[in-house]
Homo-oligomer: A and B are copies of this chain.
Amino acid sequence: MKKHSKKRKNPAKRRAPVGASPGTIFSDPEAAPSKVHLTSYNEQELVEEDITDLSSLRSRVRERAVTWVNVDGLGNENVIQEVAKAFGLHLLAVEDIVHVNQRPKVDEYGDLRFVVLRMPRSSDTLETEQFSLLLGPGIVLTFQEQIGDCLEPVRARLREGRPRIREGSAGYLAYAILDAIVDAYFPLLEYYGDQLEDLEADVLDHQNQETIRSLHQLKRDLATLRRYIWPLRELMSSLARDESGLIDETTQVYLRDCHDHALRLMDIVESYRDVSSGLMDLYLSIVSNRMNEIMKVLTIIATLFIPLSFIAGLYGMNFNPQKSPWNMPELNWYFGYPFAWGLMIAVAVTLLVYFKKKGWLG
């Protein structure tokens, strides 16, 4: 469990100053530098290129059936602004792209569809980045926080010339990208499922603070995942019902499948949350049960020997028998010691019978 990201980001942080004009961009100084990559293709050919001269961007679009412009890193404000200008993005869309920590959603800006969601960056830590996608006629524009993503298989299918994607519209490309992102949650959930199994074994076998901390951490991670995944269903279903013509009917069937995947993700997250709550209860029950057992042993041994020790202490008193016949005559009895033993055995047996009756002996 050590891999869990320690520097959890406060989700309320990194906002524009209160009352600032809407659409103002406050780029994060720690953000990665921006790199623009263009993929342009039709059924016959596919061209990939890194774009450095942003002024040429506008002219490069619509050369072929579908153009995909991907921006990695949000660190260069002017790059973002140039790209935004080239595609006529609304100020509020730009603000949402740059100020990460948006909740997943679809917005409409004229003939553009603006999709924001979180993309998992790893299959065994809860590391995600904000992924923004703009879908226009023949154009897909994507923004990522950092270099590196889970879209390589999509690029491979493009390069290999798979017909469904190469003959498809920009809407199909957008679907392929979103589907890849949604599917990237499955290995992550699988990882958490394995963690849960391990934790369940831990809870049953030994109960210590480490287990509790890991369980708490897991619950927090699942709550965060839930926040990422919950709005995906709404998002996918609203895309699948889009009537603008950007997404053709065939693609909508695929988006419905993607919506179904989002439903399954949610189902899994919910069942994991159930299980983790159940584990917390189980932990408390087991600890409580063990306390009960320990208390029983303590009580039995302590209450058994406390009266015996008292008797032993009693005959350890130094009252002087020579001064008076009242002073501990037992010490001089012929069977004094056996009498003391008898007394102690009688007390012990009485108590054991009592405990037995109470059901504490087994």
Binding site for B on A (CB under 8 A): 8, 10-13, 15-22, 90, 92, 95, 101-103, 105, 107, 109, 150-154, 157, 162, 164-165, 176, 179-180, 183-184, 186-187, 189-190, 192-194, 197, 204, 206-209, 212-213, 216, 219-220, 223-224, 227, 253-254, 256-257, 260, 263-264, 267-268, 271, 274-275, 278, 280-299, 301-303, 305-310, 312-321, 323-324, 326-328, 330-338, 340, 358-360
Shortest Cβ distance from residue A26 to the other chain B in the assembled complex, whole angstroms: 12
Which of A150, A309, A340 counts the most chain B CB atoms within 10 A?
A309
A10 — which chain B residues lie within 8 A by C-beta?
190, 193-194, 197
A253 — which chain B residues lie within 8 A by C-beta?
90, 92, 109
Known contacts A274-B223, A312-B316, A319-B330; A151/B12 CB under 8 A: no
A23: nearest chain-B partner, CB-CB:
B164
Cβ-defined contact, B332 with A337, below 8 A = no
Sampled A-B contacts (13; CB under 8 Å) = A12-B186, A18-B153, A21-B164, A22-B179, A90-B253, A103-B263, A212-B286, A216-B281, A223-B274, A287-B288, A302-B303, A315-B317, A315-B319
A21 — which chain B residues lie within 8 A by C-beta?
157, 162, 164-165
Cβ-defined contact, B313 with A212, below 8 A = no
Cβ-defined contact, A220 with B336, below 8 A = no
Cβ-defined contact, B323 with A333, below 8 A = yes
A290 — which chain B residues lie within 8 A by C-beta?
209, 292
Cβ-defined contact, B92 with A19, below 8 A = no
Instruction: Please state the number of chain copies in the assembly.
Output: 5
Shortest Cβ distance from residue A12 to the other chain B in the assembled complex, whole angstroms: 4
Complex A-B, nearest 7 residue pairs according to Cβ-Cβ distance, in ascending order: A19-B153, A312-B313, A19-B180, A315-B317, A12-B189, A316-B316, A10-B193
Can you name 19 extra interface pairs (CB under 8 A) apart from A8-B197, A109-B253? A11-B193, A11-B268, A12-B268, A16-B183, A18-B186, A22-B179, A102-B260, A209-B290, A212-B286, A216-B282, A223-B275, A291-B291, A305-B306, A306-B306, A312-B316, A318-B328, A320-B321, A324-B334, A327-B333
Cβ-defined contact, B288 with A288, below 8 A = yes
A254: nearest chain-B partner, CB-CB:
B22
Cβ-defined contact, B294 with A294, below 8 A = no
Cβ-defined contact, A18 with B184, below 8 A = yes
A8: nearest chain-B partner, CB-CB:
B197
A308 — which chain B residues lie within 8 A by C-beta?
310
Known contacts A180-B19, A183-B15, A186-B12; A301/B301 CB under 8 A: no
A358 — which chain B residues lie within 8 A by C-beta?
293, 297
Shortest Cβ distance from residue A20 to the other chain B in the assembled complex, whole angstroms: 6
A309 — which chain B residues lie within 8 A by C-beta?
305-306, 309-310, 313
A351: nearest chain-B partner, CB-CB:
B301
